[in-house]
Amino acid sequence: MGVDALYPAQLSRPDLVVPRATGKRWSPRLVTAERRIWLAVMCAAIGVLIGESSETSARPYVLAVVAVLVVYALVGAVARVVVRRRQAGFEPVWLEAQSEILRGRRFEILRLTTSEPEETEHGRRTKRRVYDLARPAEVAELLRLRSRAAEDGVTVPVTVEFGYPQEDAMSMGVERVRGELASIPIVGRPGADVTPRVWFPDARYLVQPSAERAVTYWVLGPPSLMVAQPAPDPVPALSAEG
């Protein structure tokens, strides 16, 4: 499998078109297209009828065309079997290689939302809050929330929204993943211009076949976050990234 068969990391999205095993140098589609094969068979059948009923000097030429069409159909049918077998061996290798690229891709976080427990006069309820992970102060608050939730044995659901380029490369798709705050690894990175990012160490691509083409979909798994490093503070459970 050539390197040119893989999509670069910056183009990672759910619906990648699975390339053909033959690569870009030669494509057998002209021979293996099912519609063309059936058209050749039908034309050959019509040619046989015409040739059998014809008593003119054109009969040999008609039968010669029929022979060419039959050979084309036979070659196309055999080629389709070969291509399918080659593709069946190629796809798992390609999917694993593309999945490895996906696992290393860091997507820009658009929004992180928590559902936080809150004590009210009517009992415990939840409130939604959005955190700006590029601001060290808000990262510190998020980590304090995680620490308190762990001490109290409270689950804090989290929704992470991130963007990815769509097929036309002119628009942005949005994906939402959910998790629990205590189980999400959070890595701090120092600097004033940190762009919060999310990546998925267990992500993988699978293929959803269709009538016209094979297209992937992704299974992302648990997220990991890279955020702005908060100022020194007695807040636990934050790794550092240089």
Lowest average pLDDT, out of 33-37, 53-57, 123-127, 234-238, goes to 234-238
Q: Do 64 and 172 share a structural domain? A: no
- Higher-confidence residue of 80 and 13: namely 13
> What are the Cα distances from residue 60, in Å, to 39, 42, 54, 56, 151?
21, 19, 10, 9, 91
- Cα(229)–Cα(140) distance, integer angstroms: 8
CB 179 within 8 A of CB 223: yes
Query: Residue 112 sits in which domain range?
Result: 107-240
| CA proximity to 218, closest of 205, 208, 200, 207 | 205
Count of domains for the chain: 2
DSSP conformational letter for 156:
-
More confident residue, 22 or 126: 126
Instruction: Give whichever of 75-89, 182-196, 227-241 has the largest mean pLDDT.
Output: 182-196
Q: What is the pLDDT of residue 92?
A: 92
Q: DSSP readout, 94-116?
A: HHHHHHHHHHH--EEEEEEEEEE
Tell me: the pLDDT tens digits for 159-210?
Answer: 999 999 998 777 899 999 999 999 999 999 887 788 999 999 999 999 987 7
Residue pLDDT, tens place only, 115-134: 988 766 666 688 999 999 99
Identify which has the larger pLDDT, 32 or 197: 197
- Residues 38, 125, single domain; the answer is no
End residue of a domain, out of 104, 122, 137: 104
96 and 114 belong to one structural domain = no
Which is more confidently placed, 45 or 112?
112
96 with 134, same domain? Answer: no
User: 50, 84, 104 — which closes off a domain?
Assistant: 104
How far apart (Å, rounded) are the C-alpha atoms in residues 184 and 60?
A: 76
Query: Hey, what amino acid is at 105?
Result: R
* Together in a domain, 114 and 98: no
